[in-house]
Structure 1
């Protein structure tokens, strides 16, 4: 098996609400969208983030083992080039309706991060990581340039 991840699939309560948050609120461009089934975004050159109806997810994969109060033991990370970009993305997420938006904080490992939750409570870390691992996950030339 090759060392890569092709899809990250999250089971969501309401695909249309996820579309409103990610596409309309955060400005992501869907690759595929069926409001009753699934919403897919290109998340990297060879990676797709798939937000799949919880009912369809459970029918194919099975029932989640953890539910109830608390934080899902998983984070998704969006790395950026600068500290200032962390704060800007967190502000954009808050404006898009994200819950539990934290302020960016200096971390003991040398980076700067903050978090927000999507409509289903999945936590996104927005991170500036000045080390070699941080550089590994960012394009060498910014797409916006």
Structure 2
């Protein structure tokens, strides 16, 4: 009888043990599934943020590239007007302030003092170079505005 009790107890314990093991395996599988789903949600959220960031960057690029192209076209228009002008209009004159020590004083111009204004006339080659310098300045200013906006948006996103 003891053996019969022992056998029944053993079977009952085995059945309980298997049921407990099955419950543990099910709980473990459920936990792993939940972890996988959470990881998938997080990955999808990161991908959505990446796509949104790329779209924002593309819009920013298009905006500033378009502005740069407009400014370059305007510079080329002015360069064309300059090149097509008659000789008198093609001469670029710049008013400059000169210090007394730098002034070249002749009998026709008279004396000059600090802050006097004189006209400086550029050669045709130098006048033409002004448009190249202006084009470089336009590009530099456009790039600076672009990078400043990029940094403002980056700081706003942090």
TM-score category by the smaller chain?
under 0.3
Structure showing greater radius of gyration is 2
What TM-score, normalized by structure 2, do the two folds share?
A: 0.20
Which structure is higher in helix share?
A: 2
What TM-score, normalized by structure 1, do the two folds share?
A: 0.21
Which structure is higher in strand share?
A: 1
